Structure formats: structure tokens, C-alpha cells
């Protein structure tokens, strides 16, 4: 049995396979086993609140009112956001709304 590769995000060795993904127990990063075998560690797996995998260009809907820090702006529940872009980090979804550009956590979104 081969050992899983270290996490591409945090470089820790505490990783394990789950179905067709590798998961880092330290930072929670998930990436596909196929990407690791191909040498492409840039495959980013981001899941919405319902566990569906998001990809660049998807449309999503907010499932919770989100207050924007430092302003009086609130993004309302049910707001549809088109053409998202996935980025690394804690706030993995980059998007544009009528209120401006934001980085959002995927746990507050569901795929439309």
C-alpha cells in the first residue's frame, strides 16, 4: 500500500484517501487522486453547503444573510451570483455582485 502524498496547501504528511480524493487532516484541503498522479497539484476542490462540488463559472445562491465587515452593506439570502471563480484560502469563492466584488466562504452558498 502506497502512502498518500503530502498536502499541496500546507505540506503536512497527515493525509488520507477518501473515495477519489486525498484529504489533509490538518488544514482540511481536498484534492483529487488523479491530479496527484498526473503531477498537477493545482486541482482545487470546493464544496457548497450541500456538498456539491463547485467549479469556475458556476452560478450560486446565498443561503444566509452576510454582513460585509467595515460597511453597512448586507448580502441578502437568495441573492443569485453568476460566474464565480475559485481561489485558494479560507474564502474560496471570488465573485461580483451589485454591491461589489467579494471573497465568500463556500459554506454560505449553494449551487444554482
| pLDDT per residue of the chain (112 residues) written in tens, 0 to 9 | 578 888 887 788 889 988 888 888 888 888 877 765 655 545 578 899 999 989 889 999 999 999 999 999 999 999 999 999 988 788 899 999 999 999 999 999 999 8
Return left, alpha or beta for 23; rule: phi > 0 is left, psi -120 to 50 is alpha, else beta: beta
pLDDT score at 41: 47
- The answer to whether residues 79 and 105 belong to one domain is yes
In terms of domains, do 85 and 103 share one? yes
Q: What is the pLDDT of residue 38?
A: 54
Structural domain span for residue 95: 53-111
Q: What is the arrangement of strands in the sheet containing 60-62, beginning at the earlier edge strand?
A: 80-81, 60-62, 109-111
User: CA-to-CA distance for 62 and 65, rounded, in angstroms?
Assistant: 7
So what's the pLDDT on residue 18?
86
Q: Are residues 74 and 28 in the same domain?
A: no
Is position 31 within any domain?
Answer: yes
Angstrom CA distances, 19 to 3, 32, 81, stand at: 15, 9, 30
pLDDT of residue 50: 93
pTM for the full predicted model: 0.61
71 with 103, same domain?
Answer: yes
**Residue 62 located in a structural domain:** yes
- Would 48 be classed as within a structural domain? no
Domain count, the chain: 2
Find the CATH number of the domain harbouring 64: 2.30.30.40
Amino acid at each position: 500500500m502506497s502512502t498518500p502524498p503530502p498536502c499541496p496547501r500546507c505540506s503536512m504528511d497527515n493525509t488520507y484517501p477518501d473515495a477519489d480524493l486525498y484529504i489533509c487532516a490538518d488544514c482540511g484541503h481536498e484534492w483529487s487522486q488523479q491530479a496527484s498522479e498526473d503531477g498537477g497539484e493545482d486541482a482545487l476542490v470546493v464544496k457548497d453547503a450541500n456538498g456539491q462540488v463547485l467549479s469556475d463559472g458556476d452560478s450560486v445562491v446565498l443561503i444566509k444573510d452576510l454582513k460585509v465587515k467595515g460597511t453597512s452593506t448586507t448580502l441578502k439570502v437568495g441573492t443569485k451570483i453568476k460566474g464565480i471563480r475559485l481561489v485558494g484560502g479560507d474564502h474560496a469563492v471570488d465573485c461580483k455582485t451589485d454591491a461589489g466584488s467579494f471573497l465568500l466562504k463556500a459554506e454560505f452558498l449553494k449551487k444554482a
